Amino acid sequence: MMLAGQPVGVSICYEDAFSSEVRAGLPTATLLINATNNAWYGDSFAPHQHLQISRSRGLETGRSILRVTTNGVSAIIDFKGNIAVQGPQFEQAVITGEIQPREGSTPYVRWGQWPLLLTALLLLAVRLLYQRHQGRQST
């Protein structure tokens, strides 16, 4: 999708909770949009938690996010995951601000979950070797 001449990555509703879904449109997209209906959350912590999830996507992708909600928390999130502008919850509002389209790949965009998985496997191997070594010493 193009917006003002910029390729945009779009996620709908809770898709942005799955970083691999958002990562699929990168590194082509220069900014991200998340459109969601948070009405069913009601007056709970969930709309704020969903905003935190969106902030994580901005930080790990290095992209600004335009977040539009029905009655949750609409916001403009910068490429560092900071909230630049935030709308009020349960009120109709228009928020405005500036965003900077960005190119390139963060380590997460480049390698995804692989560094985390390899680190977990390495730690598991070290733990198993340690247990095996301890078992030999006690006999």
- State the Cα–Cα distance between residues 40 and 3, nearest whole angstrom: 29
Total Cβ atoms within 10 A of residue 17: 16
Report residue 137 as tokens: 């010493």
Q: What is the predicted pLDDT for the residue at 71?
A: 85
pLDDT digits (tens, 9 = 90+) for 31-54: 999 999 988 888 899 999 999 999
pLDDT digits (tens, 9 = 90+) for 85-108: 999 999 899 999 999 999 999 999
| Residue 139 pLDDT level (bands cut at 50, 70, 90) | low
Amino acid identity of 71? N
pLDDT digits (tens, 9 = 90+) for 24-36: 889 999 999 999 9
Does residue 27 have a cis peptide bond before it, meaning omega lies within 30 degrees of 0?
Answer: yes
- State the Cα–Cα distance between residues 34 and 54, nearest whole angstrom: 8
